[in-house]
Amino acid sequence: MNGGFVDLNSETQLVEAARNGHLESFGALYRRYHSQMVALAYSMLADRDLAEDAAQEVFAAACRDIESLKSTERFAAWLAGICRNVSRQMLRANKVRPAALSDDYAAPSANDSTDRKEAIRRAVWSLREAERELIVMRYFDGFSQSQISQVLDLSPQAVNGRLIRAKRKVAAYLKRNGLTGDDHGTS
Amino acid sequence: MERPENDKWLDEALSDIIGSEKPRTDFEQWKQQHPQAVHTLTSRTGRQASPGPLKTRRIIMTSTITKIAAAAVVIAAVALSINVWDRTTPAAYALEQTVEANHTVRSLHIRDFKSGEDEPKEFWLQFDDRGQVQSVRAYMPEWDSPSDGAKTIIWQEGKAKVWFKKKNALLTVRDERLAQQMLGLAQQVDPRLAVERLREQEQQGKVKMEIDEPSDRTEPIAVTATYGPEGSRAGRRIVLSVDQATKLVTAMEVYQLKDNDYQQVGLMEFHDYNQTIDPGMFTLDGEIPADAMRVDQTTQEVGLAQGNLSDEEVAVEVARRFFTALMAEDYAAAGQFLEGIPAEKMREMFGPIKVLRIISIGPAAPHPNPGTKGLAVPCTVEIQKDGQTSEWKLDRLGVRQVYNQPGRWTIFGGI
């Protein structure tokens, strides 16, 4: 263990130490991944408050179950799995349906700023879950492709490629609804 | 290398819709709210050899030239966010600048104290007749960001001018979040809306509300909202002081339950409701020395558009173009890849160093400080200085997305 020290830059050391009950190491992992768990939960719940609550529960579950983690190198992906489960449980328990998918959603009119925002939101939450996770994590707080790749257990190249495809789908959806870059005021 | 697609509008739209105030990451609070989980974890201590204290790996940059230039390049991350006391504010209140802003505040001075710090953050807010944010002056003490030093921010018409006094640099950026936060704050301070919102939360079972109205009319009404044991705000208590004569909120205290006791963690004072603020408060004229470095990111696109490049590829490309521009002594172009630093400042900083050739660049890797959300690109270039040729080795040149210019990447921090 690096001469008795835990190296904050070494995730595997932090995870190993946390598995052995070292709370400070778990705290370092919490600080490293808390924002990303909020973003991931938000991609499923479409509600910021619920997403924060979910992230809190994710780390509680991680604390309890960290011994079940088989590969210390995959801590972020393991955490993401817990996050998806917690978020699904919250969706079921609260009968929450992401606001962007509500049935009373009205078709957008291209000239209205609020409708345009709704259309973009709708486009994002219409994506498949895996694509939505990518888009939300990328734009929620500007996580790098490398950070996203750890959480979603993909290579950075795969993140890049899938992100491009997901953005194309969003753009296509908006185009079908009469919204393009020209409406946005930039080109 | 694929040609970058022109999807700037989509990046901006997605940032606008999905971009959010950074979650507050507070492990201490989490520990208090999850004692059972903490106990489960810590009960494993001793099964194996316990590790020693945490140690952060020191980043060593050995180049003497690095040290010379690091003192000159000063642009840092712009952290405009403030700690608004309550994140549960519905979007209709805080996050949308609706046509009718729905509050009665037209001007306000806020002093935001943090437990353990003497100097408060301060905000002077001016709203227009419809309640929309018109002007903001903010003062952020050094404790808020020791690396930046104290900052003064003037916000008007979607632009924030940030004065880094310690670094003698003025940075102008596009920013909407600060105004949105201020609007949300005004709506929280408006007594009618504040109580209405707390009632709403009470009905949802999130808080328990108590109102204490003293018979002595000179004493303020105390509105206490205590959050329940569930949720991310468990253990939080908010106390609003409402002036009985004016019915305005004059202070907001924030407490956190710790060791069975509510301990104060923050205090906001609200002064000078609807009192005219001197327009001079909303300008930095006279405060910025003539020799200060000025970078305006609202009149220029900074950095390189990512297009279809991966993060790692664009980071390497930014570094490559930066050094290529220095080789050509094109300081205007080089400055574009360094947060938009003006050509004359770039010439002053890098003129004495002639870059002869690029020896190696990349590959990019996650930046050792994850908080920067950047990448580190190792670079080695051959330079000439004072007639002597040598290698300039940068272990970690930082590259990340430009603040509020989604899809564009720039070098950040010291070179």
Domain of residue B182, CATH code: 2.50.20.20
Are B371 and A31 in contact by the 8 Å Cβ rule? The answer is no
Q: For residue B151, what are the β-bridge partners?
A: B140, B164
Collect all residues with Cβ–Cβ distance below 8 Å to B412 and sequence separation of at least 6.
B75, B76, B77, B339, B372, B374, B398, B399, B400
pLDDT tens-digit map of A80-118: 999 999 998 888 776 555 544 443 333 334 445 667 778
CB contact under 8 A, A64 and B366: no
Query: Cα–Cα distance between B3 and A46 in angstroms, integer?
Result: 34
Of A26, A31, A120, nearest to B25 by CB-CB distance is A31
Query: Cα–Cα distance between A60 and B123 in angstroms, integer?
Result: 37
Collect all residues with Cβ–Cβ distance below 8 Å to B290 and sequence separation of at least 6.
none
Tell whether B261 and B305 lie within a shared domain: no
Tell whether B323 and B237 lie within a shared domain: no
Residue B11 in any domain: the answer is: no
Residue B38 in any domain: the answer is: no
Tell whether B232 and B333 lie within a shared domain: no
Domain boundaries, chain A: 11-94, 100-184
Instruction: Tell which of B5, B12, B17, B200 to mutate to test the A interface (max A CBs under 10 Å).
Output: B17
Tell whether B330 and B251 lie within a shared domain: no
User: Helices A129-140 & B8-18, crossing angle to 10 degrees?
Assistant: 90
Pick the last residue of a domain from B253, B271, B289: B271
CB contact under 8 A, B17 and A143: no
Residue B391 in any domain: the answer is: yes
Q: How many CB pairs under 8 A join A and B?
A: 193
Question: Within a 10 A sphere around the Cβ of A89, how many other Cβ atoms?
Answer: 12
Tell whether B167 and B250 lie within a shared domain: yes
Q: What is the CATH number of domain A11-94?
A: 1.10.1740.10
Tell whether B252 and B312 lie within a shared domain: no
| Domain at A100-184, CATH from 3.30.1370.30, 3.10.20.30, 1.10.10.10, 3.40.640.10 | 1.10.10.10
Taking contacts as CB-CB distances below 8 angstroms, the residues of chain A near B232 are: 49, 52-53, 55-56
Query: Cα–Cα distance between B37 and A18 in angstroms, integer?
Result: 12
Residue B22 in any domain: the answer is: no
Are B255 and B265 in contact by the 8 Å Cβ rule? The answer is yes
Of B22, B27, B33, nearest to A27 by CB-CB distance is B27
Helix (H) / strand (E) element for A162: namely helix A156-176
pLDDT of B370 over the 80 cut: no
Tell whether B229 and B367 lie within a shared domain: no
Query: Cα–Cα distance between B65 and B353 in angstroms, integer?
Result: 9
**Chain A: residue whose CA lies nearest to B403:** A142
pLDDT of B334 over the 70 cut: yes
Tell whether B173 and B220 lie within a shared domain: yes
Residues of chain A with pLDDT under 70: 1-9, 94-114, 180-187
Tell whether B261 and B332 lie within a shared domain: no
- Give the CA angle between residues A40, A46, A52 to the nearest 5°: 55
Mean of per-residue pLDDT scores for chain B: 78
Tell whether B327 and B266 lie within a shared domain: no
The range of the structural domain enclosing residue B262 comes to 91-271
pLDDT tens-digit map of B272-323: 888 889 889 999 988 899 888 888 888 888 899 998 899 999 999 999 999 9
pLDDT tens-digit map of B191-204: 667 777 778 888 88
pLDDT at A92: 79
Complex prediction ipTM: 0.83
